[in-house]
Structure 1
Amino acid sequence: MVKPHFSFWIIAGLGLIWNLMGCLNFITQLSAEAVAEMPELYQQIIEMRPLWATLVFGVAVFGGAAGCALLLLRARVAVAVLLGSLIAIVLTTIQTSMAVGMTTSTTVALLVGAALFWYSTIAARVGWLRSK
């Protein structure tokens, strides 16, 4: 197994922080009081979101956090977990776009999710990740 470049640790760590903020956002959205204090657009997104989309949003952020934690542990399964997270991000983006149009936050989430998955495939290919 090849020793990862120092940037691997930075990217995986920042990815974990990003997704943990997404997890906090998900948990915050479960509170009616917290939602009432959000900007109107975010309130609309949350109120118009069906249950399946809320569950998919949870998979996106918690899966992303797990995938980045697995990257930091150098586990090859991180690639599959981050792919699952990316699929959930795409579904969440589609639902949000249909409800209120494309937003900056959904675009950024989609780009970050895609970048993390792509980076994990590179890490696996160059031998930075363990197969077990």
Structure 2
Amino acid sequence: MVGGRARSRSPRDLAQDPENWPHADLSGHVAAAVVQAIAASLRAVMEERGLSFRRLAELSGVNRQTVNDVAVGRCWPDVATIAQLEAGLSVRLWPVPARRILRNLTRGGHAFALVRASLILPTRPSQR
């Protein structure tokens, strides 16, 4: 499996405190921290716009269950899924460079702190 044994477990399951997803402690798991940052961004945009999982699925072309799985950390989203979600929302979900997340994790921080600092939510696209 690509990513080794760590990918056999969901990103959420790698957290020391999975109940706090997407703000969980993922020290030592930079890939899972990136997924958590994507999930945090996704949830923030959905909340800001009042979008349900079903509506985001319609906008992005991503299966509703997959959208939910990404948001709650049950899957390792692939690049195509992230690209479709970004296109559907007209917003960047991919976080700051992974090296900054890793540096923050090694200093005892959390990935979400970097996402919150870098996330800029665009205005709502016009409804047609």
TM-score in terms of structure 2 length: 0.35
Q: Which has the larger radius of gyration?
A: 1
TM-score in terms of structure 1 length: 0.34
Higher helix share: 1
